[in-house]
Amino acid sequence: MITLIVAINHTNSIGLNNKLPWHNPDELQYFKQITMGKTLYVGHNTYKHLPPLPGRKIKVIGHNKDVQDFHTFLLNHQDSKEDIYIIGGASIFNQALPYASYLYLSIVNDDTLGDCFFKFNPSLYTHTLLQKQPTFTSYLLTKKE
């Protein structure tokens, strides 16, 4: 099972100058809560700019790291029972989205226009509200059959 863990703002931005376009400690704490103890997969460029994530194992997809490219990654994991959690960036999200059964989606109350975006069709998913905070709202999106 492939799950994407994504935070966007009101402009669907996920990045600006290789960082999050916002500073939101509450959403970062939520991210920590849902990722703690998991193996997280990330694209090479995002990995280069990712701060340390204690308590989580990071595997890099692309640029001669743990896995060459997303297609090879899928071939290597097609029979795996392991849950796959992908945390970015934009290129890996776009490649993984058609295969993802679930999306943990946080919508941050922010209007900053970034330079990386998460593009998806919300009508392809059922939405379950997980939490509503003053600074963000989180959902679990499940792909419709």
Asked, for residue 15, whether it belongs to a domain, the answer is no
Give the per-residue pLDDT at 80.
76
Asked, for residue 5, whether it belongs to a domain, the answer is no
Tens of pLDDT, residues 87-143? 999 999 999 999 999 999 999 999 999 999 999 999 999 999 999 999 999 999 999
Tens of pLDDT, residues 49-91? 999 999 999 988 876 555 566 777 777 777 778 889 999 999 9
Residues 6+ apart with CB under 8 A from 56: 35, 36, 37, 38, 39, 40
Query: Domain residues for 69?
Result: 21-143
Average pLDDT of the chain, as a whole number = 92
Q: Residue 45 belongs to a domain with what CATH number?
A: 3.40.430.10
H or E stretch covering 26: helix 25-35
H or E stretch covering 136: strand 136-143
CA 88, chain centre distance (Å): 5
- What's at 135, amino acid-wise? T
Give the per-residue pLDDT at 53.
95
Asked, for residue 9, whether it belongs to a domain, the answer is no
Q: Are 107 and 10 in contact (CB under 8 A)?
A: yes
Q: How far is CA 142 from CA 3, 30, 49, 57, in A?
A: 9, 19, 29, 25
Asked, for residue 105, whether it belongs to a domain, the answer is yes
- What's at 28, amino acid-wise? L
Asked, for residue 60, whether it belongs to a domain, the answer is yes
CA 73, chain centre distance (Å): 16
Asked, for residue 16, whether it belongs to a domain, the answer is no
Asked, for residue 12, whether it belongs to a domain, the answer is no
The number of folded domains in the chain is 1
Partnered with residue 59 across adjacent β-strands are 41
